[in-house]
Structure 1
């Protein structure tokens, strides 16, 4: 052990978390701050970048600094939610709130327009995925078309972590993985900007230079060091999107490894043998050079169980879990479609909404809470079936995130999918992966270093398979059966808010077949 210290900080959807480690992965200090997001209209999700991303990071860094010898810090790395769109001027002043990743669904018309402009097949081939609400390009186009005064003042664009890196170092840089999610601006084969498309979509915006997540891209400036309570000159690595940093922290680094990230949303990252694209999934660069990953995301997961908690009187979460544990699998014939904020994979429907089917007077809050878990688990099973292929079979599932605590949710997921899940011994998350990236970037450890250790394995219970197969069949049939009615209701919601830029724009249809 060298004694050098590494700082990792992650800006998630619901909180910012920081960790200080030694070069062998031992945790020395932790800190966190909870925050929320702004939901100004149905289908919109934003954040005040200066207050939330930067402000929380400063507070977390200062708390960490108070627990350590700051002179011993030899590297720092930051990850964050993404891909997001934050526009700023040349002096890093945000020109509007940051627009969040796929849970913000305002740019449906722009998705359609850009797909028609460049061609659906050409986009999938060049960018690794179809345009969806996860893409940055359509959101850039939305701002340009709907907020011309904002566009006129904007010269740069950032993800959450690249904005913070700029504030820390003065460097305008973005990592290759995040860039590969910023469709259609980046060519995943060339591992470089798609200059012609980028010039058209982001006309007037400077493009940041590219780096790999572990690479040191600058040093902590005197001004930033004073604000954070750290020493000037600390090397800062590029960082990346939080889900990939978390996968890295959990040892999801070999072909066939699949991470399930249990959080406010559910996210999936699978390491591939080589490049291939799927019409319902996202192919991206991985965290490491020459690596490709396949990803998917659900728009609501932990946020749905929080909604149930608030709806039923804000009972302690532990009580709800205990009550739901006493309910039989299948929640006595209750099924939940968890599309409360639209949905990303696999339906890519901004106008999807939640459906609770089978309610009776004998159902209580425990049934609803369990059915929410089971509905999310059915969505997970659906996505896992898309991810698993002859070309890239899933060999191992690794469960990470706050939702792995308590055991009920992960057990239901294993029962519904029929697959075991490894739960890492260290569950602190993406910030731990950031610290490892900083250790690699500064040369303290070799690139192949892996701090992950399996703490436990959740095995599926065969006795629940039959009932969950029935629930899953109803789940997969429920969306197409209610789609037309739900879309009509979502339009009523939009009309109530005078939905700018979306109105009656058609929702992009996606083929449901596999390839």
Structure 2
């Protein structure tokens, strides 16, 4: 008999689950698509009961029967998008829609209010940086102020992974990594809640119990077992935010290691040798005991490529990639500012919007798609510049590239060409659910702490002959945002018609 673990990840556009053996081999995979809701400009939401718990129920129902006869399911762990917010009632059911991570910018006034109240320097000292749309605390204050009926009904609040763990176990707990994204509620140095600041955000709403990402928070209840098919009493490991779980599964665990995730957004995570602050990047607790990370992310990446596919007639991505490959670097003078959902790092402007500059009648679908990839890559290059040598390494180690956007090869090559950085695409790049499975295995002793399931993969090296071209494009890209910001703001203020 051998032990298997179940890793589940809830992403922006889909949820994925894996059955994995102790040696890292994947036994079975299941995927379930869903969609986020954009009800009004600036808001991004999901139905936590249907899209999060519903997906988990369906995925477990598909995979649990595939546990081979004679093998044992030893643990389950769920990771997910974050930092997110969902209020729950006494039965653990969601009250209203879940508020998503930094692409939801509803709490701008609360960001300013809490910054003025607590002080920018104090926030940097405790939390590693200032408050932004990525911070969960302002969204909690928004919910308390703007939805008082829901707040009064709520018995607890959760992130994505902790919501699922609570539905499985009945326990309210939050992992240290996710908690460190709940600025201004968490103190990075003490690795504990900032209890003196909590009342300003939460009033008398309780803070969750803190646990490690690889810690067992409870066991599957009989009620959860009935709907999921998981064995009652199965250990449930806490989990964390998906990007960090993906880094964990991809072996990004040594100081200086840096992961670039090609997902609905672009996200970068770098492991630090010790607690260091480098605003405007986010400093958070890592997933390994005592570790810290730096991170930054753009607001659009795969969501932009999906939009371009729909805009150009819904042709298969393979065809778009082929047409884009036929277009020379620089897209013959076409430049895209990919801020279709505002932007996070480095401009932190919720009002930023997309711009296509240089269009002519000779530009076609392939030009637009290539320019979109290059625009995303230019944004990634700006974020990489912020990392510098913050981790105490020269920054020459290849990036670890993960996510669905690594398939096909063109996007990763464009990023290497634009940034001048080599990338390694792991041989088994199966997403954050793989990191969730590794956390589950470590949490119950199926594998020892520090186990690395990553396997060497494809090396993508930059084309140095394009350096001059992309330096010119990078300068134009940097100028395009400030040059169009006021015009975009005036356009955004125009009256909106009913649709």
TM-score of the pair, normalised by structure 1: 0.94
Q: Distance in 1 between matches of 2:465 and 2:61?
A: 50
**Which sits farther off after the overlay, 243-252 or 226-235?**
226-235
Residue 231 of structure 2 corresponds to: 231
1:269 deviation in Å? 0.4
Partner deviation per Cα, 1:237-277 (whole Å, 9 max, x = no partner): 10000000000010000111110000111111000111111
* Alpha carbons 2:175, 2:212 under 8 Å: kept: yes
Partner of residue 112, structure 2: 112
Instruction: State the match for 1:280 in structure 2.
Output: 280
Partner of 2:11: 12
Q: 1:512 corresponds to which residue? A: none
Question: After superposition, where does 1:154-169 map in structure 2 within 5 Å?
Answer: 154-169=154-169
| Distance in 2 of aligned mates of 1:496 and 1:51 | 31
Q: How do 1:174-213 residues align onto structure 2 when only pairs under 5 Å count?
A: 174-213=174-213
Task: Report if the CA contact (8 A) 2:320-2:369 is conserved.
Answer: yes
Q: Which moved more, 1:482-491 or 1:213-222?
A: 482-491
Instruction: State the Cα deviation string for residues 271-326 of structure 1 (Å, max 9, x = none).
Output: 01111112211000000111010000111000001111111111111100000000
Shift in Å, 1:355: 0.7
1:240 aligns with 2:240: yes
8 A Cα contact 2:423 2:460, kept in partner: yes
User: SS state of the match for residue 284, structure 1?
Assistant: strand
Which residue matches 1:315?
A: 315
**Secondary structure class of the residue paired with 1:106:** coil
Question: Secondary structure of 2:135's partner?
Answer: coil
Contact 1:168 1:219 in 2 (8 A): yes
Q: Which runs of 4+ in 1 moved over 6 A?
A: none
Q: For 1:341 and 1:392, locate their aligned partners in 2 and report how far apart those are by CA, in whole Å.
A: 33
Distance 1:34 1:143 in 2: 28
Which residue in the other structure is 1:511 paired with? none
Query: What is the SS of the residue equivalent to 1:460?
Result: coil
Match for residue 426 of structure 2 among 424, 427, 437: 424
Q: Following superposition of structure 1 onto structure 2, how do residues 387-406 of structure 1 map, counting pairs within 5 Å?
A: 387-389=387-389, 392-393=392-393, 394=395, 395-406=397-408
Could you tell me which runs of 5 or more consecutive residues in structure 2 were left unpaired when the two chains were aligned: none
Cα distance in 1 for residues equivalent to 2:286 and 2:75: 22
Deviations, residues 181-232 of structure 1 (Å, cap 9, x unaligned): 0111111111010001112201132211011111111111111112111211
Q: Does 1:455 align with 2:460?
A: no
Q: In the TM superposition, what is the alpha-carbon distance from 1:91 to its structure 2 partner?
A: 1.7
Instruction: For 1:444 and 1:422, locate their aligned partners in 2 and report how far apart those are by CA, in whole Å.
Output: 28
Structure 1 residue matching 2:360: 3-state secondary structure:
coil
Counterpart secondary structure, 2:102: coil
* Distance of 1:487 and 1:159 partners within structure 2: 32
Structure 1 residue 390: deviation in Å? 5.8
Residue 271 of structure 2 is matched in structure 1 by: 271
- DSSP 3-state at the match of 1:276: coil
| Cα offset, 1:490, TM superposition | 2.4
What is the CA deviation profile of residues 126-171 of structure 1, one whole-angstrom value per residue up to 9, with x for unaligned ones?
0112100001111111122222222221231100100000000111
Look up the SS of the partner of 2:466 in the other structure. helix
C-alpha distance in structure 2 between counterparts of 1:233 and 1:388, whole Å:
47
For residue 449 of structure 1, report the CA deviation from its aligned partner. Answer: 0.7
Deviation at 1:25, TM superposition (A): 0.6
Gaps of 5+ in 1: 498-515
Q: CA deviation at 1:99?
A: 0.2
Report SS of the residue matched to 1:39. Answer: coil
Contact 2:400 2:423 in 1 (8 A): yes
Q: Is the partner of 1:321 in helix, strand or coil?
A: helix
1:258-407 map, 5 Å: 258-389=258-389, 392-393=392-393, 394=395, 395-407=397-409
- CA drift of 1:467 comes to 1.1
Q: Give, in angstroms, the shift of residue 82 of structure 1.
A: 0.3
Residues in 2 aligned to 1:141 and 1:216: alpha-carbon distance in whole angstroms: 30
Q: Quick check: 1:256–1:396 contact (8 Å CA) kept in 2?
A: no
Determine helix, strand or coil for the equivalent of 2:36: coil
RMSD: 1.4
C-alpha distance in structure 2 between counterparts of 1:183 and 1:271, whole Å: 20
In structure 2, which of residues 470, 481, 484 is the aligned counterpart of residue 482 of structure 1?
Answer: 484
| Structure 1 partner of 2:34 | 35
Contact 2:78 2:239 in 1 (8 A): yes
| 1:410 counterpart residue number | 412
Aligned 8 A contact 2:11 2:80 in 1: yes
Cα deviations by residue, 1:360-391 (Å, 9 ceiling, x for unpaired): 11111111100000000000000001012265
Question: In structure 2, the residue corresponding to 1:340 is in which secondary structure?
Answer: coil
| Greater displacement, 163-172 / 148-157 | 148-157
Give the drift of 1:344: 0.6
> Is the 1:123–1:129 Cα contact (8 Å) retained in structure 2?
yes
1:492 correspondence with 2:498: no
Give 3-state SS (helix, strand or coil) of 2:493's partner.
Answer: helix
Task: Give the structure 2 partner of residue 21 of structure 1.
Answer: 20
1:425-447 CA-partner distances (Å, limit 9, x unpaired): 11111111111111111011110
Query: Does 2:2 correspond to 1:3?
Result: yes
Q: How many residues align?
A: 496
Q: What is the alpha-carbon distance in structure 2 between the residues aligned to residue 277 and residue 489 of structure 1?
A: 36
In the TM superposition, residue 50 of structure 1 has moved relative to its aligned partner by 0.2
The answer as to whether partners of 2:309 and 2:315 remain within 8 angstroms in 1 is yes
Give the 3-state SS of the residue equivalent to 2:126 in structure 1: helix
- The CA deviation at 1:496 is 5.9
CA contact (8 A) 1:352 1:490 kept: no
